[in-house]
C-alpha cells in the first residue's frame, strides 16, 4: 500500500502566477518522505544518531501536470521504486483533492552517507524495513 | 557562449546536514533563467504584459554531485537545450568556485501559457531571440 | 478560546545551526492565520473574490526563546490582539510539544487593501466574525 | 557609513498577491548581515570555527511600507544599532531602486551562543571590529 500524506498550499508557497512554485512540490515530497521514515517500525528514527548516516539527494525529477493554487488540498502518494546497496529511490504523485487530477509526479533518489559525507551501505535493518513498508 | 550568473549560499539555504538544500538549486537555476531573459535584446522583458504569457514549468530534473555549503560561491551556467513550438528547455550546471567541481546539473522545461493557463505558441520574436542568445 | 494548529519542523525548515530558521516561524504563524480565516463561519473564505481585498502585512515581530529542531512538533496558538477600521493584529505563540516550552512569540499586523493596493475598511461582517471568533 | 547590498526580487520570492512575501525581507536582511560580517577586517569569517560561536536570533521586527514586485531591485542598508555584552542589534532598511521609496525597515537582534547553545560574551576583537565598521 502506498504511503500518503495530505498537504495544503500555503500563501507563501504561491508565486505571482497564482500557483504553487514548482520547487515546493519537491519540498512536500520530502516532507512526505520524512513522515514515511517516521512511520517505520524502528526503535529510533534519528538516522544520524542511530546509524550515523544522513540521506542526501543525488537526483530529483518532477513533471508538472496541473497547477495547485492557494488553499488547495493535495495528497502526496509515495512508493519505494528501487533500493540499491547504498541508495533509495522514492516516487511521488501529488493529487489535487478537489478534482482528483494529477498535479505533479516525480522521484527523488538519495544515498546513505556517513558523517564524512562518504557513501556507505544502507544499514540492513533499515533497508529491510523500508522494503517491507514502502510499497 | 553560455549564460552565467554567480550566487552565494546563504544561511537560510542550508539545512541541518550543513549543506544547501537540494530544492534550492532549482531556485537558483530559475534565478539565472530570469537574468537570461532580462539580458535579451528585447524592447520589454515583462512577458506577461508584452506577450500575455507566462512560462510555467512542465518538468525539472537535477543531479547532485557535490554539496555547496554556507558562504560558498557557485556559478550557474545555462544553455538553451531545445526549443519547441510552445516549450523551452534550459540546461544548467552549478559549479563550486573554490575547486571548480560540478555541484549539480539539470534542466528545466517550461511551456508558454496565456492568462487562462492554456498552452500557446511562443511569440516568434521571443523564440528567435532566445535561440540566438541561448547557447 | 485561542485558535491552535500543530506543525512539525521539516528538514527544509532547518539551517546549518541545526534549528528551524527564524524566518520560518513567521511562515508558520501565517499558515495558522490562514486556517483561522478558513475556520470562520462565513459563506466564502476567498477574501479576494468575496470582498475584493487582500491582507498584506504592515508589521511583523517575533521573539525567539528556544530553538525547534528537525522533527519537533510545535503548537501555534493565535489570538486576535486588536482590530482597527482597516487593520487586524494577530498574536502568536509557538510552543514546543516535547517540553511545553515557549519557542517563539510575536505578532503580525495586516491591513485590508483593494485590488489597487489601497487601504480600505474591513468589511463589516468579516470584522465582526473575526472579533467573535478570534479570542 | 552604513553597509549596503543590492538584491532583486526573484519569481520564487513573490506570492499570489504579486508582491514579495513579507518573510523574505528578513531573509534578505540576513543575507546583507552575512555580507557585512564577511566584509570585516578579520583573519577568518567562520565564527563557528574561529570563535566557537553562532549568532541565533532572539528578536526580529519589520514594518512594511511599500511592496516590491518581481524583478524590482532594492537596496538593503544596514547599521549596527546596539551592541551588548552578548548581543548585536542590527537595523535595516529596504529601499526600492525605481523610486527610492522605503519598502520595509526593521531590526534583528542576535546573541552569541556556544556549541551547547549557551549564551556567551562576544569575542572582544569581533565586538570591536563590528563596532568600528558597523555605522
CA B79-D32-B20 angle, to 5 degrees, is 50
Tell me which residue in C10, C34, C46 faces A10 most closely, judged by beta carbons.
C34
Q: Which residue of C has its CA nearest to B69?
A: C16
Residue B135 is predicted with a pLDDT of: 67
Nearest Cα residue to C115 out of C56, C58, C34, C44: C56
* Beta-carbon separation of C11 and B12 below 8 A: no
What string of pLDDT tens digits covers the 135 residues of chain B?
Answer: 799 999 999 999 999 999 999 999 999 999 999 999 999 999 889 999 999 999 999 999 999 999 999 999 999 999 999 999 999 999 999 999 999 999 999 999 999 999 999 999 999 999 999 999 986
- Look at residue B48 and give its three-state secondary structure: helix
What DSSP character marks residue C126?
H
pLDDT digits (tens, 9 = 90+) for C13-53: 999 999 999 999 999 999 999 999 999 999 889 999 999 99
The mean per-residue pLDDT over the stretch A108-123 comes to 96
- Please tell me which chains touch A, using 3 or more CB pairs under 8 Å as the contact test: B, C, D
- For residue B12, the chain C residues in CB contact (below 8 A) are 15, 21, 23
| Ranges of chain D whose pLDDT falls below 70 | 135
Alpha carbons A58 and C130: distance in angstroms, whole number: 47
* Beta-carbon separation of A22 and B56 below 8 A: yes
Alpha carbons D23 and C131: distance in angstroms, whole number: 26
- In this prediction the pTM is 0.97
Residue D1 is predicted with a pLDDT of: 77
The mean per-residue pLDDT over the stretch A114-130 comes to 95
Helix crossing, D22-39 with C22-39: angle to 10°? 180
- For residue D38, the chain B residues in CB contact (below 8 A) are 71
pLDDT digits (tens, 9 = 90+) for A34-48: 999 999 999 889 999
Amino acid at each position: 500500500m502506498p504511503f500518503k500524506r495530505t498537504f495544503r498550499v500555503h500563501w507563501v508557497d504561491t508565486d505571482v502566477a497564482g500557483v504553487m512554485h514548482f520547487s515546493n512540490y519537491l519540498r512536500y515530497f520530502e516532507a512526505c518522505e520524512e513522515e514515511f521514515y517516521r512511520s517505520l517500525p524502528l526503535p529510533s528514527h534519528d538516522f544520524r544518531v542511530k546509524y550515523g548516516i544522513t540521506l542526501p539527494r543525488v537526483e530529483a525529477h518532477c513533471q508538472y501536470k496541473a497547477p495547485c493554487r492557494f488553499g488547495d488540498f493535495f495528497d502526496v502518494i509515495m512508493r519505494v521504486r528501487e533500493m540499491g546497496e547504498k541508495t533509495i529511490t522514492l516516487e511521488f504523485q501529488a493529487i489535487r483533492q478537489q478534482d482528483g487530477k494529477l498535479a505533479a509526479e516525480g522521484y527523488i533518489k538519495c544515498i546513505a552517507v556517513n558523517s564524512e559525507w562518504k557513501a556507505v551501505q544502507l544499514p540492513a535493518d533499515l533497508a529491510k524495513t523500508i522494503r517491507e513498508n514502502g510499497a
